[in-house]
Amino acid sequence: MEKMDDLEIFQEKKGNISILRLKGIMDSSTCMQFGIQFKEIAERPGLLLILDLKELSYINSIGIGTMVSNIRKIQSSEGRVCFFQVSEEVKHVFDLTGLSNIFFFFDDEDSALKFLTGN
């Protein structure tokens, strides 16, 4: 776990799938460190990644941009990403930006795992 001003990142693995659990807020003060950690993960070829945003209570445009740029890197190297347990507040931001139409969102971890493993 890495703790930033108002953002905690918990990283774990389930088989060949990486899971990032975010807790707190993602804004200009927390985004840089998150971006550095996310970039390190995103550079793995063929990465399968789940982002658990249940406890992410706020995200601004800088946070969205950081996520999108790294998700594109993952996808360009044959990786896949999905989200689960996205809080209503954060999902609203994805809806407003139109990103909820191009990313995959699931209500529970099992559904996200099945999506990434093709089961």
Please give the model's pTM, rounded to 2 decimal places: 0.89
CB of 29 closer than 8 Å to CB of 56: no
Whole-number pLDDT of residue 5: 57
Select the CATH number that applies to the domain covering 2-117 from these four: 3.30.750.24, 3.30.70.1450, 3.40.190.10, 3.40.50.720.
3.30.750.24
Reading the chain (119 residues) residue by residue, the pLDDT tens digits are 544 458 999 999 999 999 999 999 998 889 888 888 888 888 888 999 999 999 999 999 999 999 999 999 999 999 999 999 999 899 999 999 999 999 999 999 999 999 999 87
How many of the other CB atoms lie within 10 Å of CB of 40? 10
Closest CA to 84 of 110, 65, 117: 110
Whole-number pLDDT of residue 3: 47
Q: Give the C-alpha separation, 72 to 9, whole Å.
A: 20
Whole-number pLDDT of residue 115: 96
Whole-number pLDDT of residue 39: 85
